[in-house]
Amino acid sequence: MSTSIIDTAAAVSPAPRPGAFGNATHLVCRECRATRPLGPHYACADCFGPLETGYDFPAVTRAEIEAGPKNIWRYQPLLPVPADITESRNMEPGFTRLLRADNLARELGLSRLWVKDDSGNPTHSFKDRVVAIALSAARELGMKVFACPSTGNLANAVAAAGARAGVRTVVLIPENLERPKILTTAVYGGTLVAVRGNYDDVNRLASEIAGEEEGWAFVNVNVRPYYAEGSKTLGFEVAEQLGWRLPRQVVVPVASGSQLTKVDKGFTELVRLGLVEESPYTMFGAQATGCSPVARAFKEGHDAVRPVRPDTIAKSLAIGNPADGPYVLDVARRTGGAVEDVTDDEVRDGIELLARTEGVFAETAGGVTVATLKKLIAGGRLDPDAETVVFNTGDGLKTLDAVADRVGPGSTIDPTYAAFASSVLGRPR
Amino acid sequence: MSVRVRIPTILRSYTDGESEVGASGATLAEVIDDLEARFPGVKGRILDEQGSIRRFVNVYVGNEDVRFQEALQTPTEDGAQVSVIPAVAGG
């Protein structure tokens, strides 16, 4: 257990170096469009709306991207990171596999299905992408402490990235987090604090700390406009791996909702830069019923998302007060999609279905997306004849409890051929 | 009722940089009106044009999000802490 006292006297350097944020030029409020200079700001001073990164993109070609490294830095011109980002100590996440999932497609009655398997990242979730961008922002802003509130995957990614970069980390988690996610954070060292409360309580605490402590980069609080941009790379990769075209349908898990909105932003930017042809796509959001504030708002036709108290095994999606919920609603409605939710038993079924058909062991969030895919097909809302990409954003090894009482040895036998023949092959003794 | 109000960074220009100020009122609405009387302009940042809490602001009385309670009519007991926190975080 770490008992270290954090140095809170860390100073923030006054101005970032030229090119510190690549082609990013400013922050802009998603609500009222007010702008402010690049810096450790995340909420609009006028209306509290979320700030996001704005760019002045140069011409970028497919060949330039394809000549880049086999990680997210191949998209450096489209991210708020400096041109020399590859020289920094980071986790080099991304360029995970896009698996053609013919077995699962057959089982579900789909003509063509792909799984974007982001469990292949360094700490086994998509969070390595966003954290790599946040780490760059923290470094360029001269911030000294790298921190986050987390439902687990982010905790892993922050602790590991901080260790590799030699930056002090402070990770706040709800005390009831799955044990594997606690251990796979603590092993990297740094300060890990278990908080009595749920994720929304932890998130609130992080926001308060971020407002008090100078020089602390909370990846998903005060450097969130940069951090969130990392999820665009999921969209970039899917398009590039499909041969530079957009998929027709996408199913994405929704926690805060940031990932879904940034995949959409990524697709939009690829079209704007002429890297893919414009073609219609439909985005579906996936939630667990025990924490489905966005799905509920979608179904009830609301623009606002009413917070809920989460109660689901899909803890990585258990955000009862999702910051980007309203924008998920916008994207789903604009593209003709939907936000659907599935029960915990359906989540478990989804995990087993993906594992059994494609050899991919997803964490609970992946179970949510696969189960939602199935439900959307059954409800006639997802076109079975249109190419579909479903996202698995984490590794089943971190959420073993979800399937612990459902799978196991079919039999236990003595070490003899006779016992094997009898018990496994069904031959009479 | 006398309460303490935690002020987020982006509203501290209204409170001379103070991160916590005192206020009075029996409900959250009264507390916000009292804040407005002493720090003009602050109410318009917390509430929208219709007088509802802005969608990207979270307000807590004690540890409870007022959206789970009675919103602006949530009672503020003597000695309670009210926290105003940007909602754009997490995930």
DSSP readout, B31-60? Answer: HHHHHHHHSTTHHHHHB-TTSSBPTTEEEE
Return the pLDDT at B1: 82
Task: Tell me the shortest Cα–Cα distance from A359 to chain B, in angstroms.
Answer: 28
Whether residues B90 and A257 touch (CB distance < 8 A) is answered with no
In a domain, B34, yes or no: yes
Domain match, A386 and A334 both: yes
d(CA A222, CA A41) in angstroms, rounded, equals 5
Closest chain B CA to residue A173: B90
Q: Which residue has the tokens 């038993």?
A: A345
Total number of domains in chain A: 2
Prediction ipTM score: 0.90
In a domain, B12, yes or no: yes
In a domain, A411, yes or no: no
Q: What is the dihedral of CA A211, B40, B22, A51, to 10 degrees?
A: -20
Chain A residues whose C-beta is within 8 A of a chain B C-beta are 31, 42-51, 149, 199-201, 203-204, 206-208, 210-212, 218, 220-221, 224, 255-259, 304, 306-307, 309, 319, 321-324, 326
Domain match, A296 and A333 both: yes
Contacts of A240 (CB under 8 A, 6+ apart): A62, A65, A66
CATH number of the domain encompassing residue B60 = 3.10.20.30
- How much of chain A, in percent, has pLDDT values that exceed 70? 97
User: Is the Cα torsion angle A12, A18, A20, A26 positive or negative in sign?
Assistant: positive
Question: In whole angstroms, what separates CA A278 from the centre of its chain?
Answer: 25
Total number of domains in chain B: 1
Domain match, A74 and A205 both: yes
Contacts of A250 (CB under 8 A, 6+ apart): A238, A263, A281, A282, A283, A284, A388, A389, A390, A391
The 10s digit of each residue's pLDDT in B55-67 is: 899 999 999 999 9
Domain match, A144 and A191 both: yes
Return the pLDDT at A2: 43
CA atoms within 13 A on the CB side of A66: 9
Return the pLDDT at A11: 47
CA atoms within 13 A on the CB side of A221: 29
Residues from chain B contacting residue A315 (CB–CB below 8 Å): none
Task: Tell me the shortest Cα–Cα distance from B62 to chain A, in angstroms.
Answer: 12
Domain match, A250 and A176 both: no
Helices (H) and strands (E) in chain B, counts: 2, 5
Return the pLDDT at A9: 46
Average pLDDT per 10 consecutive residues for chain A, totaling 429 residues: 47 77 97 94 92 97 98 98 98 98 98 98 98 98 96 96 98 92 96 95 93 94 97 98 98 98 98 98 98 98 92 95 95 98 98 98 98 98 98 96 95 96 90
In a domain, B54, yes or no: yes
Q: Which domain holds residue B54?
A: 2-86
* B57 φ, ψ (degrees, to nearest 5): -120, 130
Domain match, A388 and A249 both: yes
d(CA A108, CA A326) in angstroms, rounded, equals 30
**Mutation test of the interface with chain B: which of A48, A207, A221, A327, choosing the one with the most B Cβ atoms within 10 A?**
A48
Chain B residues whose C-beta is within 8 A of a chain A C-beta are 6, 8-10, 19, 45, 54-58, 60, 63, 65, 67-68, 83, 85-91
Domain match, A169 and A285 both: no
Q: pTM here?
A: 0.94
Q: Which domain holds residue A208?
A: 24-91+125-227
In a domain, B91, yes or no: no
Nearest CB partner across the interface for A206, out of B6, B88, B89: B89
Q: Which of these three, A195, A227, A259, is where a domain ends?
A: A227
Domain match, A112 and A256 both: yes
CATH number of the domain encompassing residue A245 = 3.40.50.1100
Return the pLDDT at A10: 45
